[in-house]
Amino acid sequence: MSDGQQSQDNTSASRAGSRHSPAVASDVLPETLYLIPIPQRPFFPGQVQPVAINPQEWDSTLQAVAADGHGLLGLSYVDQHAAGSADPRQFPEIGCVVRLHRPPGVDTPGHFLAQGVKRFRIVRWLTDTVPYRVQVEYPRSQGDRDSDEIKAYSMALIKEIKELLPLNPLYSEELKQYLANFNPNQPSLLADFSAALTTAKGDQLQEILDTLPLLARMEKVLVLLRREREVAELQGQITSQVNEKVSEQQRQFFLREQMKVIQKELGISKDDRSTDIELFEERMARLQPPEPVQQRIDDELHKLSVLETGSPEYGVTRNYLDWATQVPWGVTSADKLELKHARKVLNAHHDGLDDVKQRILEFLAVGAFKGEIAGSILLLVGPPGVGKTSIGRSVAGALGREFYRFSLGGMRDEAEIKGHRRTYIGAMPGKFVQALKEVKVANPVIMLDEIDKIGASFQGDPASALLEVLDPEQNSDFLDHYLDMRVDLSRVLFICTANQLDTIPGPLLDRMEVLRLAGYIAEEKLAIAKNHLWPRLLERHGVQDEQLKINDAALKYVIESYCREAGVRNLEKQLARIIRKSIVDLVEGEQSRIRVGKKDIETLLGQPVFQAEKLLRGPGVATGLAWTAMGGATLAIESSQVHTLNRGFKLTGRLGDTMKESAEIAYSYVVAHLKDYGCDLDFFDTSMVHLHVPEGATPKDGPSAGITMATALISLARKERIKRPLAMTGELTLTGQVLAVGGIREKVIAARRIKIPELILPAANRRDFEELPDYLREGLEVHFARTYREVFEFVFQEHRREKALH
């Protein structure tokens, strides 16, 4: 049979089959069709759906269809990525011929309404460029549609569709459309409709379209429908769960609103505005505010009473009143002004620091005599780890006051001190108002930590903002920008801490009374370790005292070989390491009790960090004393004759400008007085002298090494070494005067730490030395010099040495 005859027979058969469908009874299907590829999913017979295409690409095809007059077009499924540039080889063999009911117009270019008519099979391509034109045939569905099997599958499909209908209303719209155009008794159209109803992938649906045997097609469609029902049921469950949660929240919301209305009608409760006003009035009834403060708060309460609760201004006013009514206006705690109690608390919390504790007791005694403590700001200055913060806490405990601490380190915004204007979003009061709110009394102890590390930026200068706070003459009327009311801070005891004074602005430093904490000697560290650090660490690690012990020899070895800094923070870290390593042995069961001795320290902590210091000895070497932010330190100064070719003087050791000036002065003084000190008059004229301060990686500066440098140069010129352990400090002038220096306590501690028994200090510092505790002065031979001539005699002429002051 030829292709033409077969096509004619198929056409006749198609016409015969169309008598059963009112929608296609009048269709006369042509042998040739124009084709358009569609992405995403294929089109099915019986389906009525809008189709969107690219009008620029397929306009010629639509014009050709319109020219034919029958309004029929072939739609073939092509993968979405290839639909825009489809090749004839990418078109499937089976497609669907559709009737254009609403062709594209001016208002809707690229959109038309299509009704699926029948499957077609491509027999031959007539054109392989747009517009595509093909010769087609119209295959019939294979199988007896009146058989019991087909009827059973039809009933199964209808059942699945009925179960889908309650799950999604869109399915019912599709079914209404199907029933309006087709006879439900047609199994082929029923299978195609059922497939089009699902959300299966395009390849799966194309497989349905390609399947001509009716029974096989209905089997595949039934699988897709059941999967669609399972997905729809799962989606329904998820939606139901979400709706339950939402409806429960809505129900609770409506019930709450109804309850509020009922309570309001019965007079049981009030609205939010009345509740807020009552809360603020109740707070103010417990306080004793000054008259201007009470007036201001009354004005704000009146303003709150007339504002709408939903307005932004209501929220701003409410937040303001919330802060203003929590400031403890006129509420103070009673001070404990018993010196015995204060002395007991200070001694229980700290070992050593006797001079500092005595000064605090004096401060408390004045308060006890006067009946109140106010008008004094203490500044504790000392190296890290010496207990500045804990002393502040102890003072609060001794007085029975509330304690509040915050750090000023790195603070760059003055609003942190004085608050923000309340018109800004997120505005808050300053730290001092926040502190008063938290402690709930107007006379706490407020500790300002790290006041020497306060910063400044384009946002403001917090140090300048502190001037008003830390001035006893002004802080009774401290103005916070947020509250915009005067707050009395005069009853607050301010205690500040710093590591050094250099970075504190002068006007701010002038408002504070300075107490220096120089650090601890080895004996004090031993007492602190035994009485405070070791028991506290055992408790922190959950170890019983009888399980782990350490003897005094081990503690001394740790202090001298691992922890020579001024404070005890590093000592606490090393002791914690010992406890952790010992706990490992306890947990592993090797020992039930551990006793740590000196011989165990290197096993637990490794090799010692510090070796026993040996004083440098020899011609041209002298030992000085220096102050650093970490405490006192010894400073060896070396001088050497490099060559005798010419005159010269060289300095090394990373010295600051002040120390370079001291070296130049010492050099000039020694050169000018060579004859007075028994030196070769030509020594410096023919010598290149190199003066070096060891540890060149450490910056060194300060006016306290003048006499040490001069002594080193005279020792070099005399070729005579200093015969005994001796350290000195003092600044030298060109006329040989020895000037006073600072940091005497730190320097004495540094000398004791390395067991130097003899010191030379400026005569102007005699009082500083005599004010030191007895345990620091004990065993030291100290000479006080007014001129360098006296220094020279103490160092090089032993028969002129005077007895030391103890």
> pLDDT per residue over 51-71, tens digit each?
888 888 888 888 888 888 888
Contact yes or no for 682/721 (Cβ under 8 A): no
Catalytic residue list contains 311: no
Of 7, 582, 687, 704, which is the active-site residue? 704
Strands 621-628 and 594-596: unpaired
Contact yes or no for 468/475 (Cβ under 8 A): yes
Contact yes or no for 165/172 (Cβ under 8 A): yes
Strands 731-732 and 738-739: antiparallel
Contact yes or no for 771/355 (Cβ under 8 A): yes
Length of the chain (residues): 806
DSSP H helix total and E strand total for the chain? 28, 24
Contact yes or no for 114/101 (Cβ under 8 A): yes
Q: Tell me which H or E stretch contains 562.
A: helix 552-562
Contact yes or no for 433/482 (Cβ under 8 A): yes
pLDDT digits (tens, 9 = 90+) for 243-256: 777 777 787 888 87
Give the side-chain half-sphere CA count within 13 A for 90. Answer: 16
Q: Tell me which H or E stretch contains 752.
A: helix 744-753
- Joined together, the tokens standing for residue 12 give 């006749």
- Joined together, the tokens standing for residue 202 give 């395009």
Q: Tell me which H or E stretch contains 77.
A: strand 72-77
Nearest to 419 by CA among 436, 404, 405, 403: 436
Catalytic residue list contains 704: yes
Q: What was the pLDDT predicted at 180?
A: 57
* CA 680 to each of CA 217, 614, 722, 750: distance values in angstroms, whole numbers, following the listed order: 122, 30, 18, 35
Q: What was the pLDDT predicted at 697?
A: 47
Q: What was the pLDDT predicted at 74?
A: 92
Single-letter amino acid code for the residue at 591: Q
- 83 secondary structure, DSSP code: G
Angle between helices 339-349 and 388-399 (to 10 degrees): 150
Contact yes or no for 64/178 (Cβ under 8 A): no
Task: Return d(Cα 585, Cα 593) in angstroms, integer.
Answer: 9
Nearest to 431 by CA among 456, 406, 468: 406
Residues of the chain with pLDDT under 50: 1-26, 697, 799-806
